[in-house]
Amino acid sequence: MKPDLCQPVEQVAPRLLGAVIRHGPVAVRLTELEAYDGVTDPASHAYRGRTARNAVMFGPPGHLYLYFTYGMHWAGNISCGPEGVGCGVLMRAGEVIEGLDVARSRRGPASDRNLARGPGRLSQALGLHAEHKGSDLFDQGGPVTLEVPPGQPEMIMVGPRVGVSVEADRPWRFWIGDSPFVSDYKRSPRAPRAAAGVPMAQRWDG
């Protein structure tokens, strides 16, 4: 089924936990997602307006926004919000559930737990790169597809996003509470110290 990706992005992100992204033989069940909103969120690539890089986020919802960072990693997002609004959900981690042999060969010596734990690793395990920019994830004939099962995982957790230097306390990271296929929290060294009373992880109740 195709969920409503035009709800507020911090409501869409938890809704997509448990979804399965597939590229060829490799399928990954998403265990950890982060919301980025172009209007209210200075941590979003879309906050400063449309550019060549982030244009996919301003396009129709349900497309793949891929960006290259740290000189060697691709990170994948699901574009959200109506056309003209730059929102996205970062796929931060997942569990490889099909195509393990292919995923392992792409990931070298990594353990199975680390095959897709982290945005760069997830993209590498799936074999995503420049040619998949902008793919329609809900086009069954396209190279990369997303399948969202009805219902939601039992235990959803929420806490601040990993690695952002601004808005580092905003609790817009969501993950499946009992999954081992989830990142460790790491605060950006450039971010100011956490404000008092900000929980690193708490149960999410939609």
Partner DNA sequence: CACTAGATGCTCT
Partner DNA sequence: GAGCATCTAGTGA
- Using CB under 7 A, which of 51, 84, 178, 180 touches DNA? 51
Beta bridge partner(s), residue 109: none
CB of 100 or CB of 110, closer to DNA: 110
Distance CA 86, CA 84 (A): 6
Instruction: Please tell me what DSSP assigns to residue 167.
Output: S
x/- mask, DNA, residues 154-183, rule CB under 7 A, reads -------xxxxxx----------------x
For 43-61, letters b (16+ CB in 10 Å) and e give bbbbbeeeeeebebbbbbb
Distance CA 164, CA 46 (A): 14
59-98 positions binding DNA, by CB under 7 A:
67-73, 75, 77, 88, 90
- Using CB under 7 A, which of 6, 7, 120, 134 touches DNA? 120
Pick the stretch among 5-13, 103-111, 143-151, 193-201 that binds DNA (CB under 7 A): 103-111
CB of 109 or CB of 150, closer to DNA: 109
Residue 110 makes contact with DNA by CB under 7 A: yes
In the block, residue with structure tokens 């195709």: 2
Question: What sign results for the dihedral spanned by CA atoms 54, 64, 100, 14?
Answer: positive
Which residues 6+ apart lie within 8 Å of 63 measured at CB? 56, 78, 79, 134, 135, 136, 137
β 87-98/20-23 pair status: unpaired
157: which 2 tokens?
A: 């957790």
Residue 44 makes contact with DNA by CB under 7 A: yes
Residue 145 makes contact with DNA by CB under 7 A: no
CB of 93 or CB of 176, closer to DNA: 93
Contact 57, 79 (CB under 8 A): yes
- Using CB under 7 A, which of 14, 62, 119, 171 touches DNA? 119
- Using CB under 7 A, which of 2, 48, 129, 203 touches DNA? 48
Rule CB under 7 A: which residues touch DNA? 34, 36, 43-46, 48, 51-54, 57, 67-73, 75, 77, 88, 90, 107-110, 114, 118-122, 161-166, 183, 188, 190
